[in-house]
Amino acid sequence: MLPTIDIHIHVAARDRADCRLAESLLASPAFAYMLVANRVRPSQLRKDFDGTIRRRVVAALQGARSVDRGVVLALDAIYREDGTRCWDESGMVVSNDYVMELVRSTDKALFGASVHPNRGEREGRAELERCLEGPPPAALVKWIPNSQLIDPSQPRHDWFYKVLAASGVPLLCHCGPEYAVPVPAPQAQHQRLGDPRRLRRALELGVTVIVAHAATRFFPTDAEDYLAELGQMMQEFPSLFADVSAFCTLCRLGTARRVLDTLPPDRLVLGSDFPIPVTDLPPLLAEGLSVAEHLEIVALKNPLDKNLRQLLAMGFPASVATKAAELLSPRALAA
Residue 225 CA neighbour count, 13 Å, CB half = 15
CA distance 120 to 235: 32
Q: How many domains does the chain have?
A: 1
CA distance 314 to 287: 8
Instruction: Pick the closest to residue 272 from 31, 71, 58 (CA basis).
Output: 71
Instruction: Pick the closest to residue 9 from 106, 121, 122 (CA basis).
Output: 106
DSSP 227-252: HHHHHHHHHH-TTEEEE-TT-SSTTT
Cα 130 to its chain centre, rounded Å, is 21
In a domain? residue 283: no
pLDDT of residue 220 exceeding 80, the answer is no
Q: Which of 63-72, 95-104, 113-122, 248-257 has the lowest mean pLDDT?
A: 248-257
pLDDT of residue 224 exceeding 70, the answer is no
Structural domain boundaries enclosing 257: 5-278+318-334
What residues contact residue 37 under an 8 Å CB cut-off, 6+ apart?
Answer: 277
- Structure confidence by residue, pLDDT tens digits, 157-166: 999 999 999 9
For 97, 287, 305, 324, the CA distances from 291, given in Å and listed in that order, are: 46, 11, 19, 31
CA distance 46 to 60: 21
| Mean pLDDT, range 62-82, rounded to an integer | 98
In a domain? residue 265: yes
pLDDT at residue 290 in the model: 83
Angle at 319 between CA 283 and CA 197, to 5 degrees: 90
pLDDT at residue 292 in the model: 87
In a domain? residue 31: yes
- Tell me what the pLDDT averaged over the chain comes to: 95
Q: Which of 18-22, 116-120, 290-294 has the lowest mean pLDDT?
A: 290-294
pLDDT of residue 121 exceeding 80, the answer is yes
| Mean pLDDT, range 218-227, rounded to an integer | 80
| Mean pLDDT, range 36-48, rounded to an integer | 92
CATH number for position 122: 3.20.20.140
Instruction: Pick the closest to residue 6 from 88, 159, 108 (CA basis).
Output: 108
Return the HEC string of 251-268: CCHHHHHHHHHHCCHHHE
pLDDT at residue 225 in the model: 85
pLDDT at residue 251 in the model: 78
At 173, which amino acid appears? C
In a domain? residue 310: no
